[in-house]
């Protein structure tokens, strides 16, 4: 099995913290691919990533546009 490689290029924000876990938004390059916006949980005590989502530039820009008009009161 090939080695899984990634590099955090830019740390954007820690969105939340819960014990050893953080939810973070970062710019990450996986392998030899292009940088992507990455939002996921991390166990920083063990430096392990959890499930998350990665977006390319176009997807990230579309999300930003959609969130500009989103009614956040719907989240409670």
pLDDT in tens, 23-73: 999 999 999 999 999 999 999 888 899 999 999 999 999 999 999 999 999
Q: How far is CA 38 from the centre of its chain?
A: 3
Identify whether 75 is part of a domain.
no
Identify whether 76 is part of a domain.
no
What CATH number does residue 13 fall under? Answer: 2.30.31.70
Identify whether 1 is part of a domain.
no
| pLDDT reported for residue 4 | 82
| pLDDT reported for residue 46 | 86
This prediction's pTM: 0.87
| pLDDT reported for residue 44 | 83
| pLDDT reported for residue 45 | 84
Specify the number of domains making up the chain: 1
- Tokens (6 digits) for 48: 């392990």
Residue-number span of the structural domain to which 50 is assigned: 6-69
Cβ neighbours for 45, distance < 8 A, ≥ 6 positions apart:
20
Q: What dihedral angle (degrees, nearest 10) is formed by the CA atoms of 53, 59, 64, 66? A: -100
């Amino acid at each position: 099995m090939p080695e899984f490689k990634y590099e955090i290029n830019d740390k954007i924000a820690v969105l939340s913290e819960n014990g050893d876990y953080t939810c973070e938004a970062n710019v990450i390059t996986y392998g030899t691919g292009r940088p992507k916006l990455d939002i996921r949980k991390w166990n920083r005590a063990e430096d392990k990533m959890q499930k998350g989502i990665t977006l390319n530039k176009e997807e990230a820009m579309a999300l930003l546009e959609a969130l500009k008009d989103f009614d956040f009161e719907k989240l409670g």
